[in-house]
Structure 1
Amino acid sequence: MALTTGQASLIVLGIYLGFGLLELVWTRLFRKDEQTRNDGILEAVSTLMLLAVTQPTILLVVGGIGHRFFPEYQGALAGISLFAAIALFLIFEDMMQYWWHQASHSFAWLYNLHRAHHNARYMSVRLVYRNNIIYYALMPSIWFAGVLVYLGLGWFYAGYIIVKMAVIIGAHSDVAWDAPLYRIKALSPLMWIVERTISTPATHHAHHGRHASDPAVHYKGNYGNLLFFWDVLFGTAKITRQYPVSYGVENLPPATLGQQLLWPIFPENKDMEARIPGAAPARPANR
């Protein structure tokens, strides 16, 4: 019997709360080093907006467009095999998110929408849904997921989202589940495969590291969400099995709360557009 969306949501919530409880016990969930008052507000608002407004609205809009213009395609893929469904979601949802994520670290206007995710000077499950509200509204992978659900793959999406969110939540938590496994020599071959297949704390923490001089930091890479394999395949992977000394964004002035939640509606701090960390310095304009 296939899981319903509601059941999948409850399981994801359980995974999230499980990692949150681990952080509460071991790494001070609500009192992270260098956190600010705005961090908690940003995380609460962006999480609530994504889960209660943005995702449901996108699904409704896609369904409405489908019913209006493409009614004959509703449920058209409902009978495909499990393996075909896996392939479609990995390509049109997870790989698409990889390219969107990479673009967000390559183009200034997209980076302005994504920077809120990196402003935190700590790692935590609190960061999982932390992003500009408009960033999520424009995210192609959410829209593609809506299309696949309309085409009849809702039965698969519920299970898929559990697996994906379990990986993403674990990769953001500062209770690094992979660290003790690296110390077990017998597991080294298995971990070699795991860290090249899915996102792990070590590989994803590298993407959140603050200083480019830190050997464990790879701010311009390690973009994968569920599959780290996309980074391996497209040459953006860096695997060190180490963790950055500190987290956040270097060489840019602080962004305001309004800017982090709703840039460009609140573009208070123009200096944040100076350059993208890790990118080549901008050329001076011709005069």
Structure 2
Amino acid sequence: MFDEKLVIPAIFIGFALLEILVGRFSPKGRVSTRDAVIEAVSTLTIILLTVPAIFAIAPLLVEWVRPGSEGALAFLPWWVMLAILLIGDDMTQYWWHRASHTFPWLYNLHRAHHSGGYMSVRIAYRNNLFYYLFMPGIWVSAVLVYLGFGPVYIAYLIVKMSVIFGAHSSWRWDEPLYRIKALSPLMWVIERTISTPATHAAHHGLHKEDGVTHYKGNYGNLLFFWDVLFGTAKITRRYPEHYGIEGLEPVSTAHELAWPLVRK
């Protein structure tokens, strides 16, 4: 029996197993107990608390504004729903992510995502506990699902999270494809359309002088096209040797997870 609630965790576990097979799930000397705590708490929070809460509250807000709206847009063709989701969810997430690297106060909600010195599917949900709660795209998605986008949203989310997990993963699915000359035109299109391990790893790089790191760009989640469109793309088909935050000032685990409630 198909249960869509299990699909995303299954994809996550699949990438984790691939990383374990290639020996990159827990890089020696880079992953600390602190990292494991941050990742476990933030991942479980978004899956078990944040997203369920948003999807429970959003319908109440819709009914408060416009009673009787459940399924009101279910008549739309699937491709129209997809276009609305790409703009309402994925493009707004691009701007939310970009804003997180622009405004210092908002960066405090995103800092944890970059403080790990490695790439791995385990950091995909690694963020402050409030980062996803205030992410506009999740609220938009919850409203759209209530309005009748449910089946299309499930398919969209499966594709989106597969791309996001893949982009964060230390199992670099794109690397061998770059070496095949015949695939170069296809990869040119792919790397400008969706996020890949190479383009997203550049966003997580530690040293901007390495010629690869681009932490003030490559913000795209599902679609890297937003970076191309809005002028924040950098494509090198290479990967940084080191990851993290340049000039990082140490803060407590509680600060990374619970700022502004904890400021030490």
Cα shift at 1:243: 0.2
Q: Distance in 2 between matches of 1:117 and 1:136?
A: 12
Q: Which residue of 1 aligns with 2:196?
A: 200
Q: Distance in 1 between matches of 2:89 and 2:30?
A: 34
Q: Distance in 2 between matches of 1:14 and 1:120?
A: 23
The 8 Å contact of residues 27 and 118 in structure 2, kept in 1 or not, is answered as: no
Q: Which residue of 1 aligns with 2:226?
A: 230
The 8 Å contact of residues 33 and 121 in structure 1, kept in 2 or not, is answered as: no
Q: Which residue of 1 aligns with 2:258?
A: 262
**Where do 1:216-227 residues align within 5 Å?**
216-227=212-223
**What is the number of equivalent residue pairs in this alignment?**
264
Matched, 1:116 2:112: yes
**Where do 1:177-216 residues align within 5 Å?**
177-216=173-212
Q: Distance in 1 between matches of 2:24 and 2:168?
A: 15
Q: Which runs of 5+ in 1 are unaligned?
A: 269-287
**Where do 1:63-142 residues align within 5 Å?**
63-142=59-138
Matched, 1:47 2:43: yes
Q: Distance in 2 between matches of 1:132 and 1:126?
A: 15
Matched, 1:38 2:34: yes
Cα shift at 1:32: 4.5
The 8 Å contact of residues 163 and 222 in structure 2, kept in 1 or not, is answered as: yes
Q: Which residue of 2 aligns with 1:281?
A: none
The 8 Å contact of residues 103 and 110 in structure 1, kept in 2 or not, is answered as: yes
SS at structure 2 position matched to 1:190: helix
Deviation string, structure 1 residues 106-140 (Cα, Å, up to 9, x no partner): 00010011000000000001011110011111111
The 8 Å contact of residues 8 and 159 in structure 1, kept in 2 or not, is answered as: no
Q: Which residue of 1 aligns with 2:160?
A: 164
Q: Which runs of 5+ in 2 are unaligned?
A: none
The 8 Å contact of residues 192 and 225 in structure 2, kept in 1 or not, is answered as: yes
Percent of aligned positions that are identical: 56
| Alignment-mate amino acid for residue 113 of structure 1 | L
Go from structure 1 to structure 2 and tell me whether the alpha carbon gap of 1:60 and 1:89 turns closer, same or farther (over 3 Å shift).
same
The 8 Å contact of residues 77 and 151 in structure 1, kept in 2 or not, is answered as: yes
Cα shift at 1:215: 0.6
What TM-score, normalized by structure 1, do the two folds share? 0.89
Q: Distance in 1 between matches of 2:241 and 2:13?
A: 26
RMSD, matched Cα: 1.3
Cα shift at 1:212: 1.1
| Alignment-mate amino acid for residue 101 of structure 1 | H
SS at structure 1 position matched to 2:171: coil
The 8 Å contact of residues 177 and 183 in structure 2, kept in 1 or not, is answered as: yes
Q: Distance in 1 between matches of 2:29 and 2:185?
A: 34
What TM-score, normalized by structure 2, do the two folds share? 0.97
Go from structure 1 to structure 2 and tell me whether the alpha carbon gap of 1:86 and 1:164 turns closer, same or farther (over 3 Å shift).
same
Go from structure 1 to structure 2 and tell me whether the alpha carbon gap of 1:105 and 1:117 turns closer, same or farther (over 3 Å shift).
same
Q: Where do 4+ consecutive residues of structure 1 move more than 6 Å?
A: none
